[in-house]
Structure 1
């Protein structure tokens, strides 16, 4: 079966093409710039992690339009390939089990995020004074429950910064810098190195229900950041140099994130994304879950500042939807998981660029 003739059989309900919020144009794999030279095996490994969840019946989408049926069939076929299929087999799998559709939407924006690695402590002291909190009992851990979408009026960022959670034993770990606390909220996960060298892995466990507001956009609007020097690192530098103003700016974003310990991860694994699987650097994509199901492959084409000193390089890559985020909304909006640590953070913080999004619909869903 050729790439242009993919998906000639199978059936599934919940076709994404029925979603009025999406405009999808069929293309062929030959239309995808760089498709033949990508390392499809890396994407297949990430896809297989999604299949671990999909084949157990995990909910993949918030959208009533979207069904997992086509993905279940694709995952079953992926399992039949064994543990380590060769590159040719993997490429043929994607070409025969999926049909590519270009997402017609503007603006199309690609950003990136990472897993910070920071020093911290389980108890407060003169250095470590700023807590990351566990989720309070009154906040739902399920974003699909109605209560999770009703903002807790007394749990805004400002209220929490002013002590509304104090005395409840919800402090998970303490950091040395309130700016780091804020950016861990943005990233949704972190590795915390304790004074004895032990490493804690923490991950997202809910939020307060208030809407996300971009602090970076507010800083640009006020002229405190130069539009030509407005990466995440530039933003952090300014906030740290202006601690009083930093508190005011960060509190413009009322959304607040809560965390839990992730004990089951080994050191080589990425953080746990919204799908509940370990993320893969450069292959896991955060998407708008109200539009797309977890586990869905995407082909991304962009020019990104990932080279030395921020030089632009082609980024043509097969990725898998495995995470989501408050700022990730719309049909052509994606957030790449770039990796762990400072170097990954520097590159991730540079990325906010246009891209071409192509969604790969599983055979049944594309019929």
Structure 2
């Protein structure tokens, strides 16, 4: 269902960030009519009718005079005052309902482990503010390694985790994925979504057109980043999963890898690259959330999904190396770290992790040698007897 668009609204980066992450309680507390009008028009422009309705309801609760910037309340008609009171009452009831939902959701927090649902999508590298280790960061960009600044993800069950096999599996599944009303392919819903709310969110928004779904996916990514910074990793995973569920698929990864060189005009449209970048960011970001939740297998799969579309993504390489190290896949972890250092030899996290891996490998080899020597000594003693 297409939303009615409001007038074009130009926002500063600060205003856009505030509006993208605004809550019902914050809307109800606002008393700046001009700001509320701007919020309403922006949400209409972005296609978020419920939030626009909430802003308009708050405007009405302030009174028509306040909404129009007038100082004389006597110009309000009786019908307008009644309408404002009714709107305020409805908005308050809605806000209570939203708080109840959030309270119930909070009571369940930590009571389950998120399932892995690998969507065929690609993600935006205009990522939030998460560094390679997955720790919250206050910087929106990293001057030296802009690609290391933030990304997390969702995964699909692949028989192997190398980039080529993941890409092949993702491409083959693309042909059987569902289509939107405009024929745009989107990732199939995972068999067991992380939560009922996420499943409903995906199903409810699949009828939007491609551009609306892309904008919604980017908005959910930003919300996931906010949860990540607040160390609410399960909630962040939910947001990234929902974003991956509604994001329209870009062309297969092979088309990007075989596209014309940078010196020539690409035959792929800008929207394809934008969606690929967003898909990569979502998978990489979700991997970071899985790392922070110590869900190593899920983190490895999500990182592999990101690398299927962007093999040189340093963040995804580091996160997969970390996940593999924690699963004692030392050889594979070392390969990831060495690949990182080929791309950039000054990534401190990669150097530190390589030292840890080599130390553990050395200990493993020593233990094997010691066990072998002990076995040989036992055999010699038995022969002497």
Q: TM-score, normalized by length of structure 2?
A: 0.22
Asked which structure has the greater CA Rg, the reply is 2
Structure number having the greater strand percentage:
1
Structure number having the greater helix percentage:
2
Q: TM-score, normalized by length of structure 1?
A: 0.23
